[in-house]
């Protein structure tokens, strides 16, 4: 750890000898010049009613306008016009793309389609029940009581089930008696 800090300090000392302070000042001036080269304002007709025109613009034109505004925002914000500030805000945070407002009748459409799906599924269920075969014979109360007796004879579930001492549950019985 001590060795690496010595290496770093020696490298920075050599760099300070090679680069005089005026080179760093020249770099700062170069950065300021780079920022000022794009200082021309975006034309007012381009930004007029951008909120209404943005969705209808081709993607290439949207990208070009955004790049122009982005370059313009790299300068001081006090130099931006009010239209440029509004356009940049709208493009970044406006109601377009994924933040677009839903259509006014979307809630009714969702409710209508959901109700239609429920009605169709109910109709299908009723048709299947009407034309389906009767319940299997194992669903009768008599069959289920016979199953209880068979399980007791086999001593099934002797700890907590049907064959345990003092069991008071229904066992296998879950159906009402047969209608005759």
**DSSP per-residue string spanning 67-101:** HHHHHHHTS-GGGS-HHHHHHHHHHHHSSSGGGPP
Q: Where are the domains of the chain?
A: 1-37, 45-97
The reported pLDDT for the residue numbered 116 is 98
C-alpha to C-alpha distance for 60 and 85, rounded to whole angstroms:
21
Could you list the pLDDT tens digit for every one of the 180 residues in the chain?
455 555 555 555 554 454 555 555 555 555 555 444 445 677 777 788 888 888 888 999 999 998 988 888 888 888 888 888 888 888 888 888 888 888 899 999 999 999 999 999 999 999 999 998 888 888 889 999 999 999 999 999 888 888 898 888 888 888 887 776
**Residue labelled with tokens 């050599």:** 14
Phi, psi of 40 (to 5 degrees): -75, 145
C-alpha to C-alpha distance for 150 and 111, rounded to whole angstroms:
52
The reported pLDDT for the residue numbered 38 is 47
Structure tokens given for 147: 């199953």
**Residue labelled with tokens 């047969």:** 178
C-alpha to C-alpha distance for 80 and 83, rounded to whole angstroms:
8
DSSP state of 173: -
Taking the chain, what is the end-to-end CA distance rounded to the nearest angstrom? Answer: 94
C-alpha to C-alpha distance for 173 and 167, rounded to whole angstroms:
14
């Amino acid at each position: 750890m001590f060795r690496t800090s010595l290496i770093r300090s020696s490298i920075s000392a050599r760099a300070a000898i090679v680069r005089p302070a005026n080179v760093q000042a020249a770099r700062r001036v170069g950065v300021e010049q780079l920022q000022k080269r794009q200082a021309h304002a975006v034309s007012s007709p381009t930004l007029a009613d951008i909120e209404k025109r943005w969705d209808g613009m081709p993607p290439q034109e949207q990208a070009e306008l955004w790049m122009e505004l982005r370059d313009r925002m790299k300068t001081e914000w006090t130099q931006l016009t009010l239209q440029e500030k509004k356009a940049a805000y709208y493009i970044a945070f406006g109601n377009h793309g994924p933040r677009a407002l839903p259509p006014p009748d979307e809630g009714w459409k969702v409710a209508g389609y959901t109700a239609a799906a429920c009605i169709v599924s109910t109709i299908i269920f009723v048709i299947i029940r009407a034309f389906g075969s009767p319940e299997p014979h194992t669903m009768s109360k008599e069959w289920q009581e016979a199953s209880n007796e068979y399980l007791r004879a086999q001593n099934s579930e002797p700890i907590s089930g049907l064959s345990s001492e003092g069991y008071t549950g229904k066992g296998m019985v879950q159906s009402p008696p047969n209608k005759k």
